[in-house]
Amino acid sequence: MPERRPRNASDPASAQVTGEASGAGDGGTVSPARVVDGWFTVDPPRLIGTRCTACGTVCFPPQTLTCRNPACENDELVEERLSNRGRIWSYADARYRPPPPYVSGEEFEPYAVAAVELPSERLVVLGQVVRGVGVDDLHVGMEVELVVEHLDPGHVVWKWRPLAGEGGAPPAGAGPGRSDHRQDGA
Amino acid sequence: MSADVAVLGAGMHPWGKWGRDFVEYGLAAARAALRDAGLAWTDIQFVAGADTIRSGYPGFVAGATFAQALGWSGARVSSCYAACASGAQAMNIARAQILAGLADVALVVGAEAAPKGFFTPVGGDRPDDPDWLRFRLLGATNPIYFALYARRRMALHGATRDDFAAVKIKNARHGLHNPNARYRKEVTAADVAASPVVADPLRLLDICATSDGGAAVVLSSLDFARRNGAGTPVRIPAISTVTPTFPNTVLEMPNFATDSSVAVEPPARPFRAAIAAAAYEEAGLGPEDLSLAEVYDLSTALELDWYEDIGLCEPGEAERLLRDGVTSLGGRVPVNPSGGLASFGEAIPAQAIAQVCELTWQLRGQAGERQVMGARAGIAVNQGLFGHGSAIIAVT
């Protein structure tokens, strides 16, 4: 019976969301916790996926059960660091405070989100865009790189950052920053 | 043996934010559908409920909840949840019972009492649930995904915010005379432009609301329809509820990533197009045969994607179709003559059933001021979370 988790997983518990800020960091110093374990590394910032040892299919988030290719019955999946650069497939932003479990403080801070195509893995991955970069600074096809940044005061998460020279203008203000969210967006 | 089932009755509880229990909406819709069919509840042999996940246990066993509300009658029952396609799956379960000869006549009911604001994941800490994780890790609400598709359309096909607004203006005009619509008011381009941006490039008026509502249909075998005096009923020759084909390379709610296509090339038809294609094949007709379409306009931009997915035009031509008035009432193939989600807002388990109510009324010539003249065939399509979608074809 094959082992039911990716080999070489560096984290003790795969795909578990951490609790409140524990101060657990990668480098021994006190730093915010990763908001989810086993999905990304902090230094260097890389997404962790899995690759099927039989057909080569890559998955993100990492899979623990079996290959997602219906023509492949292989259960042996190895951990793989995904490319840290890709091109924007599309992007959007959030002008209203999302509901929990998203954590936001008194002052809601709008943020942009980008779906980024990783050419060698041939998949598209979502992520927030780093603070200070709004939709006016982005365009489809723009090259971005993966970084790790605060999500909320207690946690870090992976984010996308435009590469230098990609026309990333200075922060243009990500929006009106309303904190009410009474609209009925489905 | 025919693979068609008859639609004997259609009924709805008006959409709105009524603040009452979902059972009340379902009951009203069920009674309206039964009246429309000229049948008593006790004539029904099979009841199929489309579940809601927002009203606790009664919502998870919606079929039984509605059956009890109507009065236990000994009818056989099913309940199912399939996100936005819940109503379609409930109709498909009823259809299968009828086509298998296990039941002659069935009632299908879906109803929702929607919360205010963004749809949220099921409560509690749910770190194994992608729907919970997308909110926790990314703040990726549904409008964020809609906005990603809209922006992609702008980049790929040159769609503009004005095109998106034109969809809203059209659907608002269509919904004006629909007594079951929640919003019955003309909308102007200035109204859309004045509404706040929710998820750039989409504004509040580009995004459908969440609504309360209930819808029901009575389905039967063609023999049963004939025996009950329905000479030429509206018929359903196809219900497609296909899943995506790997690798699904379009980012979908609530996922963090697409499938990878390193090992297998993407399918010729993306998911939404595949949903519709399966229905066309099952019905033995094509987009050129359509008199009208009800498509799932979660956003204005998404309606344009659907034009291409259901084969009304080639990719990139949806804006032209819209601008030429082809999809407006009076055009060659009106889309969302009901007013669509733009005029209704979404009542998840009721919505796919409501789409079939509209097809039924249109095909019977009972749609009043929103009537599509000479309607002979229509399609209703939708897509929801976790690989769900449906396409239903109705003909007369």
Q: Give the DSSP per-residue string, B204-231.
A: GGGB--B-EEEEEEEEE-HHHHHHTT-S
Q: Which residues of B247-285 are buried (b: 16+ CB within 10 A; e: fewer)?
A: bbbbbbbbbbbbbbbbbbebbeebbbbbbbbbbbeebeb
What Rg value do the Cα atoms of chain A yield, rounded?
18
pLDDT, average across residues B328-335: 98
Name which of A34, A68, A120, A122 to mutate to probe chain B: the one with the most chain B Cβ atoms within 10 A of its Cβ: A122
The boundaries of the domain holding residue A51 are: 12-81
CB atoms within 10 A of CB A41: 18
**Nearest-CA distance B324 → chain A (Å):** 28
Measured between alpha carbons, how far is B272 from B278 in angstroms, rounded to an integer?
Answer: 10
Contact A184 B116 (CB under 8 A): yes
| Percentage of residues in chain A having pLDDT higher than 90 | 67
Residue where a domain terminates, one of A23, A55, A81: A81
Contact A124 B264 (CB under 8 A): no
In a domain, A89, yes or no: yes
Copy the structure tokens of residue B118.
């963004």
Contact B137 A125 (CB under 8 A): no
Contact B84, B354 (CB under 8 A): no
Specify whether A89 is located in the same domain as A156: yes
Specify whether A16 is located in the same domain as A74: yes
Measured between alpha carbons, how far is B395 from B375 in angstroms, rounded to an integer?
Answer: 9
Stretch 138-167 of chain A: residues touching chain B, C-beta under 8 Å: 139-141, 151, 157
Stretch 131-150 of chain B: residues touching chain A, C-beta under 8 Å: 132-144, 147-150
Higher-confidence position of A26 and B361? B361
pLDDT, average across residues A18-32: 45
Tell me what pLDDT residue A34 has. 92
Q: Please give the mean pLDDT across all residues of chain B.
A: 97
Q: Does A178 touch chain B (CB under 8 A)?
A: yes
In a domain, A34, yes or no: yes
Measured between alpha carbons, how far is B153 from B146 in angstroms, rounded to an integer?
Answer: 11
Contact A17 B136 (CB under 8 A): yes
Contact B256 A125 (CB under 8 A): yes
Tell me what pLDDT residue A7 has. 46
Task: Locate the DSSP E strands across chain B.
Answer: 5-16, 46-50, 76-80, 105-112, 197-199, 202-203, 212-220, 234-240, 292-294, 377-384, 388-395
Q: Does A123 touch chain B (CB under 8 A)?
A: yes
Residue A73 CB burial class (10 angstroms; 0-12, 13-18, ≥19): exposed
Tell me what pLDDT residue A11 has. 41
**Nearest-CA distance B120 → chain A (Å):** 6
Residue where a domain terminates, one of A81, A100, A124: A81
- Residue identified by tokens 């007369």 is B396
Higher-confidence position of B277 and A25? B277
Contact B90, B66 (CB under 8 A): no
Specify whether A157 is located in the same domain as A121: yes
Copy the structure tokens of residue A141.
């096809």
Measured between alpha carbons, how far is A15 from A37 in angstroms, rounded to an integer?
Answer: 5
Contact A69, A51 (CB under 8 A): no
In a domain, A183, yes or no: no
Specify whether A108 is located in the same domain as A57: no
Helix axes B62-70, B22-37, angle to 10 degrees: 70
In a domain, A169, yes or no: no
- Chain B residue with minimum CA distance to A157: B137
pLDDT at B115 over 80: yes
Give A118-165 pLDDT, tens digit per residue.
Answer: 999 999 999 999 999 999 999 999 999 999 999 998 999 999 999 987
Helices (H), B72-157: 86-99, 130-133, 142-157
Specify whether A90 is located in the same domain as A75: no
In a domain, A23, yes or no: yes
Q: Does B389 touch chain A (CB under 8 A)?
A: no
In a domain, A172, yes or no: no
**pLDDT level of residue B59 (50, 70, 90 thresholds):** very high
Tell me what pLDDT residue A167 has. 58
Read off the pTM.
0.91
Q: Give the DSSP per-residue string, B148-181.
A: HHHHHHHHHH---HHHHHHHHHHHHHHHTT-TT-
Tell me what pLDDT residue B124 has. 86
In a domain, A3, yes or no: no
What string of H, E and C letters represents the secondary structure of chain A? CCCCCCECCCCCCCCCCCCCCCCCCCCCCCCCEECCCCCEECCCCEEEEEEECCCCCEECCCCCCCCCCCCCCCCCEEEEECCCEEEEEEEEEECCCCCCCCCCCCCCCCEEEEEEEECCCCEEEEEEECCCCCHHHCCCCCEEEEEEEEEECCEEEEEEEECCCCCCCCCCCCCCCCCCCCCCCC
Angle at B257 between CA B251 and CA B262, to 5 degrees: 100
**Nearest-CA distance A124 → chain B (Å):** 5
Specify whether A112 is located in the same domain as A91: yes
Specify whether A99 is located in the same domain as A141: yes
Higher-confidence position of B158 and B125? B158
Separation in Å, CA B232 to CA A74, B24, B73, B166, B363: 53, 32, 29, 37, 11
Residue whose C-alpha is closest to residue A37's, from A51, A53, A22:
A22
Specify whether A153 is located in the same domain as A117: yes
Give B197-219 pLDDT, tens digit per residue.
Answer: 999 999 999 999 999 999 999 99
Contact B135, A102 (CB under 8 A): yes
Specify whether A154 is located in the same domain as A107: yes
**pLDDT level of residue B2 (50, 70, 90 thresholds):** low
Specify whether A121 is located in the same domain as A67: no
Phi, psi of A40 (to 5 degrees): -160, 155
Contact A89 B198 (CB under 8 A): no
Higher-confidence position of B383 and A169? B383
Contact B262 A15 (CB under 8 A): no
Specify whether A91 is located in the same domain as A77: no
Tell me what pLDDT residue A183 has. 35
**pLDDT level of residue B123 (50, 70, 90 thresholds):** confident
Specify whether A61 is located in the same domain as A101: no
Q: How many domains does chain A have?
A: 2
For residue A95, give the nearest of B133, B155, B196 by CB distance.
B196
Tell me what pLDDT residue B353 has. 98
pLDDT, average across residues A4-9: 45
Residue where a domain terminates, one of A81, A105, A127: A81
Residue whose C-alpha is closest to residue A182's, from B202, B117, B119:
B117
Give B139-166 pLDDT, tens digit per residue.
Answer: 999 999 999 999 999 999 999 999 999 9
Give B74-106 pLDDT, tens digit per residue.
Answer: 999 999 999 999 999 999 999 999 999 999 999
Q: Does A115 touch chain B (CB under 8 A)?
A: yes
ipTM score for this prediction:
0.94
**pLDDT level of residue A21 (50, 70, 90 thresholds):** very low
- Chains A, B: CB pairs < 8 Å: 191
In a domain, A147, yes or no: yes
- Residue identified by tokens 């409920």 is B49
Tell me what pLDDT residue B49 has. 98
pLDDT, average across residues B233-248: 98
